[in-house]
């Protein structure tokens, strides 16, 4: 299953890069969502997969009785999901705002800070 997920991650990354290189910044945001998911899956998979055994300590014991899933990557991924969401939300609002101000979603036409050659200030 790790191998399958590794391939999946590759496809996610490929699609994310393709989307992030698009003209339309909305597609860039889609790519951002995909690449966050890819990163989370990489961390999770690299910590190895243990099916059906959450890292819980049973009542009365000091440590998990059997082999349980690796808790460390889970904690890291949890943090990453939330941060990724914060980044996504802010980027979405930024795009939204940019469209309201500039009237376009194409990054090439957003040239307030760096005017095009020829149309220089």
Q: Which of residues 49-68 bind another protein (CB under 8 A)?
A: 49-59, 61-64, 68
2 near another protein (CB under 8 A): yes
* Beta-bridge partners for 24: 106
* Binding residues for another protein, total number by CB under 8 A: 98
| 8 A C-beta contact, residue 78 and residue 54 | no
118 near another protein (CB under 8 A): no
Q: How far is the CB of 101 from another protein (least distance, A)?
A: 6
90-109 positions binding another protein, by CB under 8 A? 90, 92-97, 99-103, 105, 107-108
CA distance 113 to 121: 10
Q: Which residues touch 84 (CB under 8 Å, ≥6 apart)?
A: 36, 39, 40
68-87 positions binding another protein, by CB under 8 A? 68-72, 74-75, 77-79, 81-87
Q: Which residues touch 20 (CB under 8 Å, ≥6 apart)?
A: 27, 28, 31, 32, 35
10-49 positions binding another protein, by CB under 8 A? 10-30, 33-34, 37-38, 40-42, 44-49
Q: How far is the CB of 42 from another protein (least distance, A)?
A: 6
Q: Mapping DSSP to helix (H, G, I), strand (E, B) and coil, where does residue 46 land?
A: helix
Q: How far is the CB of 88 from another protein (least distance, A)?
A: 6
| 8 A C-beta contact, residue 47 and residue 56 | no
């Amino acid at each position: 299953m790790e191998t399958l997920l590794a391939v999946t991650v590759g496809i996610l990354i490929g699609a994310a890069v393709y989307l992030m290189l698009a003209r339309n910044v909305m597609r860039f945001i889609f790519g951002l969502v995909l690449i966050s998911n890819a990163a989370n899956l990489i961390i999770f998979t690299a910590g190895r997969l243990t099916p059906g055994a959450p890292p819980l300590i049973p009542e009365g014991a000091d440590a998990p009785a059997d082999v349980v899933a690796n808790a460390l990557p889970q904690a890291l991924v949890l943090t990453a999901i939330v941060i990724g969401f914060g980044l996504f939300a802010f980027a979405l609002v930024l795009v939204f705002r940019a469209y309201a101000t500039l009237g376009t979603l194409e990054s090439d036409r957003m040239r307030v800070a760096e005017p095009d050659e020829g149309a220089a200030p």
